[in-house]
Every structure is written in C-alpha cells, then in structure tokens.
Amino acid sequence: MTNTDKSRSGWRGTTILTVRKGGQVVIAGDGQVSVGDTIIKGNARKVRTLGNGNVIAGFAGATADALTLFERLETKLERFPDQLKRACVELAKDWRTDRYLRRLEAMMIVADANETLVLTGTGDVLEPEGHLMGIGSGGNYALAAARALVDQKLGAEEIAKRAMAIAADICVYTNNSLTVEILNAD
C-alpha cells in the first residue's frame, strides 16, 4: 500500500466503539482529528443521535463525507421508520451505486434498541460478532480491550469508556476526549 492509498487527504484519527450489554447499547468516539502528525482538533463530535433520538451513530473517515452519510441515513430512517436494517441496506445500495456517494470515504456504526450495524462504502451492512465492534485508527485496540472487559461485572458504558482509554494510550490518533451516546435496549 502506498502513502497515497492510505488516505487521499492525509486526515487521520478516529476511534469508534460500540458495546451492547445488560439492556444498553453504547457508541463511544474520541475527539481527535489529525493531519499527518499534527493534531488539529481534539474535541470533534463523531457520535450523535439520529432519527427521533432512537438511533445512535458514530463515524470514522472524512468528516464531510460522514456528515453527508448521516444526512442520507436520516432520510432513509424517515422513509423506513423503526426499520434500521432496511434503512441501512438502502443507504448501502445508494452508497455503492451513486456516482457522488461512491467517492465518500467513511465507515459508520449505527444502533437502535435492537440492532447494531456497521456500514461501509463497499456495500457492507454487518452485524458485529459478540455485540462489540470498533472502527477507525484505534478501533482494533478498543475492540480488543472491550472483548477483554465484556465478561467483567461492568455495564456497557463503563466497558466502552475503559476500552477507549486503553485505545487512547496505544493509538497516537486517538485521545481521551469522548462522546458517548447510550440507548436502552428493549
């Protein structure tokens, strides 16, 4: 992989983690945005609620691209209320086939009370194994930490926060400025 393949813009830095446990689903994201080896923002908000507050989502990748995808997902959720998977599949279809959307570089984790899904620009709509998933530059670190913590007597939020702290200690593109969104599962 060449340097130009890694990132067209040189922007790096995101860790997004989802944990589903004990009747809750949590998506946590760090706030760091880097260009090359320079941190240009430490408190970016990469996790937010969508729909009528019944869906939470986090993104990794180019910010403008992710915001465009959030808007498109909002539209799909309006069209298919309370059908997260269907809305995500429809978005993934558009993402792969629309000439403009096809160029967007981002990944998303989305969740409602019942489902957690990962969406990619290659058309993937994946359900995480074991109710845990991490994306972004520190995603694998956070995921490994969450897997180690999930059998402990900790709630979903505490697991997410501890796992993100571990990722921030390891990944130079991840910081401890967290945004955490929580939904209670049915």
Catalytic machinery residues = 14
Binning the chain into helix, strand and coil, the percentages to the nearest 5 are 35, 30, 35
Residue 107 near residue 120, CB atoms below 8 Å: yes
Structure tokens at 86: 């269907």
Rounded CA-CA distance 32/176 in Å is 8
Q: Concatenated DSSP letters for 4-48?
A: HHH-SS-EE--EEEEEEETTEEEEEE---EEETTEEEES----EE
Structure tokens at 89: 């599949």
Put residue 148 in one of left, alpha, beta given phi > 0 → left and psi -120 to 50 → alpha. alpha
Torsion, CA 99, CA 44, CA 179, CA 56, rounded to 10 = -20
Structure tokens at 166: 């571990």
